Amino acid sequence: MTGSRGSERPTHYLICSTPRSGSSLLCSALWQTGVAGHPDDYFKPEHMDSVDWAGDAAEYCGRLFELGATPTGICGVKTMWLDLEDLAAHVRARTRERSLGPMEVTRYFPPLRHIWTTRRDKVRQAISLAKAKQTEIWNVRAGKRPAYPELRFDAGQIETHLVEIETWEEAWWRYFRSRGIEPLCVCYEDFVSDYEATVRRVLAFLGVPRPDTIEVPPPPLERLADATSEEWFDRYAAWSPRFPALLRFRARLRLALRSTARRFGLVG
């Protein structure tokens, strides 16, 4: 179920992500090639509100994908699992499908190719997310690295983000298994160590002719890991054996309650 490409049909793809897994870097890389669509967070409210609802959920979802189309006929969306929850809520509010959730809303998507961005080192991923949450600095253009505001090490915050990342990855895997999908895996550590080859592998997966001839410019985004990241990694490693069970239980409970509240429109 990775979709099909014909000369008269566009290729739609979905970048299935968790925060700080390299999805923004991948989107920027694909934008730069000029042949693989303009993937972005089109399931965010500002984009969903920009597309008129004509009464048909499948048509609406197709138009969201086509926000990122290029003349090659390739168009993609990057999404986190929580963005799927927002999309499901958006469609629920316009239909009578009151039980529609993130898994169910995907049946309105066009035939897709799936790309899964992941990261082997989940602790460093959680640290990256904690820093982004504290600073509101999510991405930085190459050569434009800003000075960080003062950061506060919080082992509990890192643990909470670690649970969130694991939970969202589990949700993605349930989706893949339930649909019989074999996504193209883009692992962050491999991506940053072999950037050009990874981009060409994605282009080939999307059906771009002769991807070896496509120019792949240098990475447009700066890596944000630094000495603080490594210091936090060491401090978390020393802290985590002491209180993990209770904190992980509480973090999973909070995440489940928040997801339920979002599904029933109790939070924004």
Over its length of 268 residues, how does the chain's per-residue pLDDT go in tens digits? 333 333 345 699 999 999 999 999 999 999 999 999 999 999 999 999 999 999 999 999 999 999 999 998 999 999 999 999 999 999 999 998 888 999 999 999 999 999 999 999 999 999 999 999 999 888 878 767 777 778 999 998 998 899 899 999 999 999 999 999 999 999 999 999 999 999 999 999 999 999 999 999 998 887 888 889 999 999 998 887 655 555 556 566 666 656 655 554 544 4
C-alpha atoms less than 13 angstroms from C-alpha of 226 in its C-beta half-sphere:
10
In this structure, what token pair is assigned to residue 22? 């390299």
Q: How far apart are CA 250 and CA 255, in angstroms?
A: 9
Predicted confidence at residue 179, as pLDDT, reads: 94
Burial 210-220 (b: 16+ CB within 10 A, else e): ebeebebeebb
Q: Would you report the helix, strand and coil content of the chain in percent, each value rounded to 5?
A: 50, 10, 40
**Which one, of 210, 183, 184, 186, lies nearest residue 35 by Cα?**
210
Structural domain contains residue 34: yes
**H helix runs in the chain, sequence order:** 23-33, 45-48, 57-66, 81-92, 102-105, 122-135, 155-179, 188-193, 195-205, 227-239, 244-263
Structural domain contains residue 102: yes
Report CA torsion sign: 86, 88, 89, 95: positive
Predicted confidence at residue 27, as pLDDT, reads: 96
Residues of the domain holding 61? 11-263
Q: pTM for this structure?
A: 0.86
Predicted confidence at residue 111, as pLDDT, reads: 95
Q: How far apart are CA 68 and CA 134, in angstroms?
A: 30
Q: Are strands 112-118 and 74-80 parallel, antiparallel or unpaired?
A: unpaired
Structural domain contains residue 2: no
- Return all residues near 226 (Cβ < 8 A) that are at least 6 apart: none
Q: At 43, which CATH number? A: 3.40.50.300
Structural domain contains residue 4: no
Predicted confidence at residue 2, as pLDDT, reads: 39
Overall domain count for the chain? 1
